[in-house]
């Protein structure tokens, strides 16, 4: 497993520009914590769209909501590494955490296109994100920089206002807020998150009842 190191005051680290073209899916979010629905969604999109890799990019500061649970970026990143390390197509990228400040998807895509302009990026969104996408920062630019991919949720109304590829995936009704609430109330999260993530949460005492949800 790769070590997840997040400095107190990180500097932006640029990866070498590449001349090769890759098809890369992007999964963004707080991953607070990462859970099985995230992983199933990513794998279904990867396989059905024949992508080379899926990049999980944890948000530093989310623009539309508070970061609940009083969990550090280091902990969120460590849980992502634990959840993805056994899939050779999954990679955790710290672009937004290293950049600092509020994380806007459009800034990340601009950075990626600058560093590797031949790559093609697929921005993966759940149905709830699809319906809220028009309220994101510079959605028109995002739609130009990446192909939008919506993961269809049964019996959930989808109203996209931008061109989008739809992918069907098993409907796992799991959310990070559910995980946090279960931990706080002493309920089991076994099989809702990867076992290594469950053990990490337990060992670190994350999402205790005193935290906010």
Greater pLDDT, 3 or 78: 78
Is pLDDT above 80 for 10?
A: no
Note if the pTM is more than 0.85: yes
Q: Percent of the chain, pLDDT > 70?
A: 89
> Where residue 4 falls among pLDDT bands split at 50, 70, 90?
low
3-state secondary structure the chain: CCCCCCCCCCCCCCCCCCCCCCEEEEEEECCCCCCHHHHHHHHHHHHHHCCCEEEEEECCECCCCCCCCCCCHHHHHHHHHHHHCCCCCEEECCHHHHHCCECCHHHHHHHHHHHCCCCEEEEEEEHHHHHHHHHCCCHHHHHHHCEEEEEECCCCCCCCCCCCEEEECCCCCCCHHHHHHHHHCCCCCECCECHHHHHHHHHHCCCCCCCCC
What architecture does CATH give domain 23-204?
3-Layer(aba) Sandwich (3.40)
Average pLDDT estimate for 149-176? 88
> Where residue 212 falls among pLDDT bands split at 50, 70, 90?
very low
Every domain of the chain and the residues it spans: 23-204
Over the stretch 74-87, which tens digit does the pLDDT of each residue have?
999 999 999 999 99
What pLDDT was estimated at residue 210?
54
> Where residue 20 falls among pLDDT bands split at 50, 70, 90?
low
Is pLDDT above 90 for 68?
A: no
């Amino acid at each position: 497993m790769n070590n997840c190191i997040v400095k107190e005051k990180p500097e932006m680290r640029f990866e070498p520009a590449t001349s090769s073209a890759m098809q890369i899916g992007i999964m963004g979010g707080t991953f607070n914590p990462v859970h099985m629905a995230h992983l199933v969604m990513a794998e279904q999109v990867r396989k059905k769209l024949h992508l080379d890799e899926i990049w999980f990019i944890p948000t530093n500061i989310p623009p539309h909501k508070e970061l609940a649970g009083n969990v550090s970026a280091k902990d969120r990143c460590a849980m992502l590494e634990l959840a993805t390390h056994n899939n050779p197509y999954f990679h955790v990228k710290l672009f937004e955490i290293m950049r600092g400040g509020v994380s806007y998807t459009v800034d990340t895509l601009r950075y990626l296109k600058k560093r590797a302009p031949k790559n093609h990026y697929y921005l993966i969104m759940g149905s709830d994100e699809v319906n809220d996408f028009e309220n994101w920062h510079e959605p028109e630019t995002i739609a130009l920089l990446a192909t939008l991919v919506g993961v269809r949720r049964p019996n959930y109304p989808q109203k996209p206002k931008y061109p989008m590829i739809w992918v069907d995936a098993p409907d796992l009704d799991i959310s990070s807020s559910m995980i946090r609430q279960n931990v706080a109330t002493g309920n089991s999260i076994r099989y809702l998150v990867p076992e290594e993530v469950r053990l990490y949460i337990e060992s670190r005492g994350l999402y205790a009842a005193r935290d906010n949800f």
